């Protein structure tokens, strides 16, 4: 190893706009501090398999403006075998063994320290390694879902909200022309931040998120009935990919799915159920199409009864970061590199208000959800209700 300090950088989990901005922020400070950066390819997979690429800042002018990640990404979980260990004791032993093996990789990779950029899964791996070893790791929070406890907002979130909001704004013209109900599925497996922010931003008529399980009868059918009676001719339903009905409603109101359907869903490499495979927007469309009573109500109010689903999916993660996410990414990258220079490891950088702060990975690398009693949920409820109530005679 040369005398120059060498920092490895990896990006894990789903990509999002702003990842390259963080990488560039790290590189800017590193270059100015006589530190070399090495890219580790495909997240923890590359870390385990020694897959690296040189990062020469001279070759990457304005990298912060480019979407996606230069370093590629994967959802590889080095600790995946821990979940199937038989006892808690065995789980702990295995976890410690893997953590030590992972810490040993620093020498193989020729790095002094690592900056891991990722969501709760990627940062959870970093935290577990730090729990058992003195590995020099710093975390940087990333996810378009914004569901990470250790930061007020993640970069990429506002770019994705804007994309979803624009799509829903645009869909209103075709919805209006055909007098249709559009169910728009928005990314967000476990948390509804993307759906509720983009739904409110574009004025969606019904907004369904995982944190508040919906009652098909009350929150969808009844609202549509009252809306059509109040004179509305088209309807946009923003539905989080992780939105699901309450147990009571699932049993009582659904004809096309049951609890068994949800239990049988495949899991990702971190063991999370792949709710996106459920295709909730399509299920809702199927349920609505079967609802003769609602169809009659639409006909009596001289309105077409037609439903379509649109899955925004990966279009929400695509493209360039907006200015907010570029700046946030750069600031987080700069702060992560500064922590490395100050030898403050086992920490993650974070946005708190307008300031960039840091906190232990063990505290911040956890999931966050939309709070049921937050102003954003109150706004959603008010907007949906007042649209039909204010027009009722």
What is the spatial distance between Cα 317 and Cα 200, in angstroms, rounded to a whole number? 19
Residues 196-212 as b/e (b if ≥16 CB within 10 A, e otherwise) read bbbbbbbebbbbbbbbb
The pair phi, psi for residue 115, each rounded to 5°, is -110, 115
The C-alpha atoms of residue 317 and residue 143 are separated, in whole angstroms, by 10
The minimum distance between CB 240 and ligand F6P, in angstroms, equals 9
Q: How far is the CB of 276 from ligand F6P (least distance, A)?
A: 5
State in angstroms the smallest separation of the CB of 247 from ligand F6P.
23
Shortest distance, position 187 Cβ to ligand F6P, whole Å: 4
Q: Is 21 or 143 the residue whose CB approaches ligand F6P more closely? A: 143
Nearest of 99, 94, 100, 96 to residue 81 by alpha carbon? 94
Footprint of ligand F6P on this chain (CB under 6 A)?
13-14, 143-145, 187-189, 241, 276, 317
CB closer to ligand F6P out of 187 and 283: 187
By C-beta, is 52 or 143 nearer to ligand F6P? 143
What is the Cα–Cα distance from 347 to 88, expressed in whole angstroms? Answer: 26
Of the pair 246, 276, the CB lying nearest ligand F6P is at 276
Number of H helices, E strands in the chain: 14, 11
119 vs 346 by CB, closer to ligand F6P? 119
Taking alpha carbons only, the member of 346, 374, 370, 375 closest to residue 360 is 346
Cα distances (Å, whole numbers) of residue 159 to 121, 173, 192, 335, 367? 22, 23, 16, 21, 20
Nearest distance, CB of residue 104 and ligand F6P, angstroms: 29
Residues annotated as catalytic (active site), given as ranges: 145
Could you tell me if 281 and 257 are in contact, meaning their C-beta atoms sit under 8 angstroms apart? no
């Amino acid at each position: 190893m040369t005398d120059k300090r060498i920092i490895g950088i990896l990006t894990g989990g789903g990509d999002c706009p702003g990842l390259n901005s963080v990488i560039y922020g790290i590189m800017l400070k590193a270059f100015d501090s006589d530190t070399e950066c090495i890219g580790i390819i495909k997240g923890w997979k590359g870390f385990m398999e020694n897959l690296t690429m040189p990062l020469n800042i001279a070759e990457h002018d304005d990298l912060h403006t480019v979407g996606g990640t230069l370093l590629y990404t994967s959802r590889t979980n080095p600790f995946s075998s821990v979940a199937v260990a038989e006892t808690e004791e065995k789980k702990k032993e295995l976890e410690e063994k893997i953590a030590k093996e992972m810490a040993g990789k620093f020498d193989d990779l020729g790095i002094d320290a690592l900056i891991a950029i990722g969501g709760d899964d990627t940062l959870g791996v970093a935290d577990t390694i730090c729990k058992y070893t003195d590995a020099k790791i710093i975390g940087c929070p990333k996810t378009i879902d914004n569901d990470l406890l250790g930061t007020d907002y993640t970069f990429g979130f506002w770019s994705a909200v804007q994309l979803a909001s624009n799509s829903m704004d645009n869909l209103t013209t075709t919805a209006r022309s055909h007098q249709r109900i559009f169910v728009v599925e928005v990314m967000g497996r476990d948390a509804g931040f993307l759906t509720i922010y983009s739904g409110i931003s574009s004025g969606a008529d019904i907004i369904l998120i995982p944190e508040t399980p919906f009652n098909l009868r009350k929150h969808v059918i009844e609202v549509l009935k009252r809306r059509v009676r109040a004179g509305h001719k088209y309807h946009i339903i923003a539905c989080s990919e992780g939105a699901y009905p309450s147990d009571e409603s699932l049993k009582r109101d659904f004809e096309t799915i049951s609890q068994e359907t949800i239990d049988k869903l495949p899991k990702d490499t971190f063991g999370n159920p792949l709710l996106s495979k459920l295709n909730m927007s399509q299920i809702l469309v199927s349920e609505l199409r079967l609802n003769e009573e609602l169809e009659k109500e639409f006909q009596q109010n001289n309105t077409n009864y037609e439903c379509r689903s649109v899955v925004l999916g990966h279009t929400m993660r695509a493209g360039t970061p907006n200015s907010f996410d570029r700046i946030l990414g750069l600031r987080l990258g700069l702060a992560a590199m500064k922590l490395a220079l100050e030898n403050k490891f086992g920490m993650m950088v974070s946005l708190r208000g307008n300031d960039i702060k840091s906190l232990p990975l063990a505290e911040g690398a956890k999931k966050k959800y939309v709070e049921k009693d937050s102003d954003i949920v109150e706004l959603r409820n008010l907007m949906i209700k007042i649209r039909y109530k204010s027009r009722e005679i």
